[in-house]
Amino acid sequence: MTSDLQALRITWSELDQVTGLDIGSVFMGGIIRPSVWRSRRQLLSLVITESLVLGTIFIVCFGLGLVLVRQQEGFDQLGGLLLGLAGAIAVGASAWHFYQWQRSKTFITLARLLDECDRHNDIIQALQVMAELEAAQVTAPEFPRHSEVLVALQATRDSLISALMTEKILRRHRVLLERRQELFGTIETNLATLQSLQVNHQASEYRQFLQEALSIGLAVQQEMIRGPAE
Amino acid sequence: MEHFSTLILLLRDRPTFLEEVRHGKKIESKILSLLVVSSLFFAIYGAIIGSSSGWQQLLVSMVKLPALYLLTLLICLPTLYFFDILFGSKADFRQYAVLSLTTVSVISVLLFSFAPVTLFFLVSIRSYHFFLLLNVAIFGLTGFIGVRLFYSGIRSVMDFTEDTPMIRNRLLLFWLVLYGLVGSQLGWTLRPFFGSPGQPFELFREVEGNFYSQVITSFFSLLFGR
C-alpha cells in the first residue's frame, strides 16, 4: 500500500510542470506563499532567506562602494557609507515587499490550490505512517477499505491537477480575459459586419436574379413579337 | 536549508545539475541559493584570513572577500553573455548567471574546505609572507579548479560539438583570462585582506605596483628573509 500511496503524492517537480512556475514551500514563482504567515517553520525559512539575500546585497554594494570611494583622497566617512547603504537596502527591501503584495493578488487562486495540494500530501503521509505501523504489528487489524481510500485520493489528485492546469491557462491569458468587455464589443462589431456582408451578398444575388429574369422576359417578348410576323 | 541542497546537488551530481540548467529548471532558485551559499563561505574564509590582524580587519575581510568574487562576476558576466549570443548561443542570461555562479560556489566551498588548514598555519606560524603566499596558492588552486569546472560545464550545457564555431570556444577561453585579470585587479584595489603585521588597521592601501609584483616580492622576502 505504501508504494500506491507514494504514487498519489503531488511532488514539487510535478507542481512546477503543471503550474509552469518554480514552486516551493515558501515561494511560488518568486512570490511569497500566503501559507508562510501561518506556519512558524516556513516563516523562519523566509526570514533566513531574506536575511541572507539582504546580507549578500549589502556585501556586493559595500564592495562596490569601497571601490568607488577609494578614489577620494582622505576618505574617512565609513560610518556614513554604511548608513547610506543600509538605508538604500531598507528602501529596496520595502519596495520589493510592496511589489510582492501587488503581484500576490493575481496568485490567490494558485495559493489556495497549493494549500490543498499540501493537505492532500499530508493525508497521504498520515496514511503511510498508518500503513507502516500496520506492517510493524503483525497482529494489528488491516486498514479497512483501503482500496476505496486509494480511489478517493486518486480522484482528489486528478481534480487538483486539473484545477492547477485550468488556473495556469486562466493566469496566462489573464490580460486577454480582463478585456472581455472589449472582446464582446469586437465580436458584436464583427457580427454586424458579417450580417451586412450577408445582406450585401443577398442583395447582389437578388439583383442578379432580377437581371436574369428581366433578360429572360425580354428574350421571350422578342421571340413572341418575332413569332406572328414570321 | 534548501540553499545548501542546491549546492550539494552541484557537488554530488553535476550532470543532473547541468541538465536542469540546460532545461531552465528552477533557475531563479538556483541563482539565489548559489549566491547566498557562496557569500556565506567566502565570508567565513574572509574572517579567517582577516583575523590575522585584529577584529576590525576580520569584519572588513568578511565583507571584502565575497564582494571581490561577486563583483568580478558582475563585471565580467555581460561580456560573456553578449559576445556568446552574438556568435550563435541560444542560452538566456539566467543560464549564464547560474553557470558562472557555479564557478564562484565551487571556489567558495574549496576555500571553506581549506579553512582548517589556513587556521592551523595562522596559529602555528607567525610569518606574514608565508601566510600571504600560502593563501595565494590556495586562491590560485581553488580558482583553477573552479574555472576548469565552469569551462567543462558551459561546454556541456551549450552543447559544444565539433560543428560549433571555433570562435565560441576561443571566446570562452578569452573570457576566462579576462575573469582572472579583472579578479586580480579588483583584489588589488580592495586590499588589504590580511592586514600588515604591526601596522594599524586601514580600510584601503595606496594603489601602488600590482598584484603580481607583490607576489614576487613576498616570495623573495620569504626566501631571503627580508
A194–B contact, CB cutoff 8 A: no
The answer to whether the beta carbons of residues B193 and B64 sit under 8 Å apart is: yes
Question: Interface pTM (ipTM) of the complex?
Answer: 0.79
Cα(A112)–Cα(A131) distance, integer angstroms: 29
CA A22 to chain centre: 11
- What's the domain range around A200? 181-230
Residues in chain A closer than 8 A to B59 (CB atoms): none
Residues A106 and A59 both lie in one domain: yes
All residues at 6 or more sequence positions from A161 whose CB lies less than 8 Å from its CB, including other chains: A10, A14, A18
Residue with the larger pLDDT of the pair A25 and A73: A25
The answer to whether the beta carbons of residues B50 and B59 sit under 8 Å apart is: yes
Residues A34 and A92 both lie in one domain: yes
Give the three-class secondary structure for A116: helix
Cα(B114)–Cα(A4) distance, integer angstroms: 46
Residues A18 and A95 both lie in one domain: yes
Cα(B173)–Cα(B83) distance, integer angstroms: 12
Residues A94 and A141 both lie in one domain: yes
DSSP letters for A21-79: S-B-SSEETTEE-GGGGG-HHHHHHHHHHHHHHHHHHHHHHHHHHHHHHTTSTT---HH
pLDDT at A141: 60
pLDDT at B44: 94
* Mean pLDDT on A143-160: 83
Tell me, yes or no, if the pTM score tops 0.80: no
Nearest chain A residue to B4, by CA: A49
Residues A174 and A186 both lie in one domain: no
Residues in chain A closer than 8 A to B64 (CB atoms): 63, 66
Residues of B at the A interface (Cβ-Cβ below 8 Å)?
1-3, 25-29, 32, 35-36, 39-40, 43, 63-64, 66-68, 70-71, 74, 186, 189-190, 203-204, 207
pLDDT at B39: 93
Residue with the larger pLDDT of the pair A71 and B51: B51
Site of grid cell 539582504: A54
Question: How many CA atoms are closer than 13 Å to the CA of B168, on its beta-carbon side?
Answer: 20
Nearest to B71 among A16, A45, A60 (CB): A60
For residue B183, which of A63, A54, A65 has the smallest C-alpha distance?
Answer: A63
Nearest to B70 among A16, A49, A60 (CB): A60
Residues A130 and A187 both lie in one domain: no
For residue B218, pLDDT beyond 80: no
Alpha carbon of B183: minimum distance to chain A alpha carbons (Å): 13
Residues in chain B closer than 8 A to A45 (CB atoms): 1-2
The answer to whether the beta carbons of residues B108 and B42 sit under 8 Å apart is: yes
Contact (CB<8Å) B186/A67: yes
DSSP letters for chain B: -HHHHHHHHHHH-HHHHHHHHHTTTTHHHHHHHHHHHHHHHHHHHHHHHHGGG-HHHHHHHHHHHHHHHHHHHHHHHHHHHHHHHHTT----HHHHHHHHHHHHHHHHHHHHHHHHHHHHHHHH---HHHHHHHHHHHHHHHHHHHHHHHHHHHHHHTT--TTS-HHHHHHHHHHHHHHHHHHHHHHHHH--SS--TTSPP-S-----S-HHHHHHHHHHHHHHT-
Substitution target in B6, B20, B26 with the highest count of A β-carbons within 10 Å is B26
Cα(A96)–Cα(B209) distance, integer angstroms: 43
Q: What is the pLDDT of residues A69-104, one digit of tens each?
A: 877 776 677 788 888 899 999 999 999 989 988 888
pLDDT at A164: 92
Q: How many independent structural domains does chain B possess?
A: 1
Residues A160 and A115 both lie in one domain: yes
Contact (CB<8Å) B189/A70: yes
Contact (CB<8Å) A64/B35: no
Q: What is the pLDDT of residues A196-207, one digit of tens each?
A: 777 677 777 878
Residues A157 and A185 both lie in one domain: no
> pLDDT confidence of B226, banded at 50, 70, 90?
low
A50–B contact, CB cutoff 8 A: no
> pLDDT confidence of A177, banded at 50, 70, 90?
confident
Alpha carbon of B124: minimum distance to chain A alpha carbons (Å): 31
Using CB atoms within 10 A of its CB, is residue B21 exposed (0-12), middle (13-18) or buried (19+)? buried
- Looking at A156, A178, A200, the residue that finishes a domain is A178
The answer to whether the beta carbons of residues A191 and A144 sit under 8 Å apart is: no
Angstrom distances, CA of residue B84 to CA of A78, B79, B221? 40, 8, 43
Q: How many independent structural domains does chain A possess?
A: 2
For residue B222, which of B131, B122, B124 has the smallest C-alpha distance?
Answer: B131
For residue A230, pLDDT beyond 60: no
Residues A100 and A188 both lie in one domain: no
Residues A45 and A135 both lie in one domain: yes
Residues A67 and A123 both lie in one domain: yes
Q: What is the pLDDT of residues A98-133, one digit of tens each?
A: 998 888 888 888 999 999 999 999 999 988 888 888
The answer to whether the beta carbons of residues B30 and B4 sit under 8 Å apart is: no
Contact (CB<8Å) A62/B63: yes
DSSP letters for A154-215: HHHHHHHHHHHHHHHHHHHTHHHHHTHHHHHHHHHHHHHHHHHHHHHHHHHHHHHHHHHHHH
Contact (CB<8Å) A63/B64: yes
- What's the domain range around B75? 2-224
Measured CA angle at A19 (ends A15, A24), to 5 deg: 50
Nearest to A67 among B2, B27, B189 (CB): B189
Q: What is the pLDDT of residues A30-74, one digit of tens each?
A: 888 988 888 898 899 889 989 999 999 999 998 888 888 877 776
* For the ranges A173-187, B32-46, B126-140, the one whose mean pLDDT is highest: B32-46
Cα(B6)–Cα(A49) distance, integer angstroms: 14
Taking the alpha carbons at both ends of chain A, their separation in whole angstroms is 105
Alpha carbon of B68: minimum distance to chain A alpha carbons (Å): 7
Residues A169 and A226 both lie in one domain: no
Query: In this complex, how many residue pairs, one in chain A and one in chain B, have their CB atoms less than 8 Å apart?
Result: 67
Residues in chain B closer than 8 A to A64 (CB atoms): 67, 71
> pLDDT confidence of A144, banded at 50, 70, 90?
low
> pLDDT confidence of B35, banded at 50, 70, 90?
very high
CB neighbours (10 Å) of residue B30? 27
Substitution target in A45, A56, A89 with the highest count of B β-carbons within 10 Å is A56
Cα(B57)–Cα(B52) distance, integer angstroms: 8
